[in-house]
Amino acid sequence: MSTASAYLKVSGIDVDIIYKNIKNLHIAVYPPLGRVRVAAPTRLDDDAVRLAVVQRLPWIKKQREQLRNAVRQSEREMVTGESHYIWGRRYRLKVVERPGRTHFEIDGERLVLYTTSHSTAEQRRAALDLWHRQQLREAIPTIVDTWEQNFEVSVPKWTIRRMKTKWGSCNRETRHLWVNVELAKKHPDCLEYIVVHEMAHYFERNHGERFTSLMDKHLPDWRSRRDLLNGAPLAEEAW
C-alpha cells in the first residue's frame, strides 16, 4: 500500500497525516500526550484534511482532556506491587524501607526502591523523577554524539524537562534541544527518534515534504518508532 506523510497545525494542535489507498478518513488521538494522527485517502488534499480536523476539534479536545485526566488519576502511590516502565520494559516495584538515602536499583524483573519508612508518596515520586532524569542523562550523550556526526551539526546544549504535550522540542537558532523526562519509560528507539526528529528541525522548520525526506534519509524506520512511542490510539472514523 503506497503512503505519503504530511503535517498540519490546527488550533495549536500538531497533526500527523498519513495518506493511504483507503476509502475513509480516520482520526486518532494517541496517549499519553494526545498526539493527533489522521489516516486520509489519497484523493484528499491538505485543505480537505484540515477541514475534517476542524470539524472534529470538539471530539479531539475531549479525548486529549480525558488523557490528561487519566494521567493525573493514575498517579502512583509508590508502594510494593505497582508496575513501572523503564526503557520500555515493565517492572514490579519493591519498596525496601531502611535508613539511608532514597535510591532505586533494578534487580531482575523488579524495580527496588530503598527509602526510609517515613518517606511520603510525593517524596518517592520525586525520587523516581530524579532517577528517570539520570537514566536519560546517561543515554542522551551517545545518541547526540552519533547524530551530530550524521547531520554534521553540533548540539551545544540539551535539557531534560517535563512537558505536557510534546516529547521533545528545539530552538533552531541556538540549537538547544529539550527532551521529555517521560521518554525514560519508553523503548530506547523512541528517545533516538525524538533526538533525530528535533535535530532535523535545524534544517527544516515545518513538517513538510523536505522534513519528511530528511527523516527518510537519516532514520528510515522513523514511522515505526513514532508508532512505538505513541502506543495505541483512541480513534474515530471521520468520513
Average pLDDT, rounded, for the chain: 91
Q: Verify that 23 and 100 share a domain, yes or no.
A: no
- Asked if the model's pLDDT at residue 3 lies above 80, the reply is no
Long-range own/partner contacts, residues 37-44 (CB < 8 A, 24 or more apart): 37/230, 37/233, 38/238, 42/2, 42/4, 44/19
**Residue 158 counted as domain residue:** yes
- Asked if the model's pLDDT at residue 239 lies above 60, the reply is no
E strand or H helix at 196:
helix 188-200
What confidence tens digit (pLDDT) does each residue in 126-183 have? 999 999 999 999 999 999 999 999 999 999 999 999 988 889 999 999 999 999 999 9
User: What pLDDT is attached to residue 231?
Assistant: 80
Q: Verify that 141 and 168 share a domain, yes or no.
A: yes
Q: Domain range for residue 139?
A: 83-203
- Asked if the model's pLDDT at residue 206 lies above 90, the reply is no
What confidence tens digit (pLDDT) does each residue in 48-102 have? 999 999 999 999 999 998 888 776 656 789 999 999 999 999 999 999 999 999 9
- Rounded to 5°, the CA angle 222-130-124 comes to 120
Q: Are 159 and 175 in contact (CB under 8 A)?
A: no
Q: Verify that 157 and 52 share a domain, yes or no.
A: no
**Residue 214 counted as domain residue:** no
**Residue 220 counted as domain residue:** no
Q: Verify that 96 and 29 share a domain, yes or no.
A: no
Residues 100-120 have a mean pLDDT of 96
Q: Verify that 179 and 100 share a domain, yes or no.
A: yes
**Residue 53 counted as domain residue:** yes
**Residue 67 counted as domain residue:** yes
- Asked if the model's pLDDT at residue 238 lies above 90, the reply is no
Cell of 137: 542523562
Residues 35-52 have a mean pLDDT of 92
Q: Verify that 128 and 26 share a domain, yes or no.
A: no
Residues 15-33 have a mean pLDDT of 90
CA distances from 215 to 2, 173, 175, 210 (A): 18, 20, 18, 9
Cα of 188 vs its chain's centroid, Å: 11
What confidence tens digit (pLDDT) does each residue in 217-235 have? 999 999 999 989 988 677 7
Please, which pLDDT band fits residue 31 given cuts at 50, 70 and 90? confident
User: What's the one-letter identity of residue 229?
Assistant: L
User: What pLDDT is attached to residue 67?
Assistant: 85
Q: Verify that 95 and 59 share a domain, yes or no.
A: no
- Asked if the model's pLDDT at residue 1 lies above 60, the reply is no
pTM of the model: 0.82
User: What pLDDT is attached to residue 236?
Assistant: 67
